Amino acid sequence: MQKILELSTKKSIHPPIEIVVDGKAYVNNPLSHALIDELKKHEKAALAGDVNALYAQVRALYPIPATVLNKLDMRDIKTLLEYTMKKAFGMDEKPTEVEKEEKKE
């Protein structure tokens, strides 16, 4: 008998992408079409170096309070976005800064 792929709009079959900021764990918002559209809305500006666009992308991806997010170094924001995209899309590009540090340990 053929196995059926059963999907849900309430919970993905894929594990969430988890990050930790100041000891508190956050999991990504569902990577829906609407969320991807929100990310794309800020993509051009983010790639051009607009820091506000980078932070907007993180706000779309994770439920991190603005009071916490605004204290993060913008380089950490960039690393967070790279890490998330790599995990979300299984990219096998160069390792992120986090992964480089993990290898050193």
Per residue of the chain (105 residues), give pLDDT as tens.
778 888 888 888 888 999 999 999 999 999 999 999 999 999 999 999 899 999 999 999 999 999 999 999 999 999 999 999 999 988 755 566 666 666 776
What pLDDT does 10 receive? 85
User: Does residue 22 belong to any structural domain of this protein?
Assistant: yes
Residue 91 CA to residue 48 CA, distance in Å, equals 22
User: Does residue 1 belong to any structural domain of this protein?
Assistant: no
What pLDDT does 90 receive? 81
pTM listed for this prediction:
0.77
Domain of 75, in residue numbers: 18-90
What pLDDT does 104 receive? 73
Could you write out the DSSP letters of every residue in 57-90?
HHHHH----HHHHTTS-HHHHHHHHHHHHHHHHT
User: Does residue 57 belong to any structural domain of this protein?
Assistant: yes
Tell me how many domains the chain contains: 1
User: Does residue 51 belong to any structural domain of this protein?
Assistant: yes
User: Does residue 103 belong to any structural domain of this protein?
Assistant: no
User: Does residue 104 belong to any structural domain of this protein?
Assistant: no
Residue 49 CA to residue 8 CA, distance in Å, equals 36
User: Does residue 42 belong to any structural domain of this protein?
Assistant: yes
